[in-house]
Amino acid sequence: MVRIFSALTQRMPAGTSPRTPTCHGMSGQFSRTAPLVSELRPVATVFTHTPSLDQLLFVCHVTGFYPHPISVAWLQDGHEVPLDPVLNSSTILPNADLTYQLHSLLAMAPRDGHSYVCRVRHRSLGTRSLLIPWGRCYPWG
């Protein structure tokens, strides 16, 4: 303990003690404002859930985006699925890191022969969209 105290006091500028707060060598670093993050890109995953033998739920989980305005839609064979009671989206929820998340659900009959893609549009993506086919993740647009 004495050696540690001795080593600390040897590095201190003259006129200071361990009880005197000092920030030598750091002047100016705390006076600047760090740039604020204006937007963060979403990360999306598509997975399925089978609540019954005659129903398959596609789930698009979108997370990590900021700010919160976002558009999530389902495409069936490349065409947007119209909003109806079969299509559900959760409200946008906050994450602990101050980003946001949501879930979008699409209920379908198993083995209906169509392809499904979750499309995410967010200001951080510019004019591009994030398109996530079931089982894969590709940014297209």
- The answer, as to whether pTM is greater than 0.85, is no
The pLDDT tens digits for 76-104 are 999 999 876 656 788 899 999 999 999 99
From the candidate CATH numbers 3.40.630.30, 3.40.50.300, 3.40.50.20, 2.60.40.10, the one assigned to the domain spanning 43-140: 2.60.40.10
Contact 100, 70 (CB under 8 A): yes
Closest CA to 136 of 60, 53, 83, 67: 60
74-82 long-range Cβ contacts below 8 angstroms, 24+ apart: 74/104, 74/106, 74/116, 74/117, 74/118, 74/119, 75/116, 75/117, 75/118, 75/119, 75/131, 76/114, 76/115, 76/116, 77/114, 77/115, 78/115, 78/117, 80/119, 81/106
For residues 94 and 27, the model is more confident at: 94
Residue-level pLDDT at 135: 52
Would you list the domain boundaries of the chain? 43-140
The pLDDT tens digits for 37-51 are 689 999 999 998 888
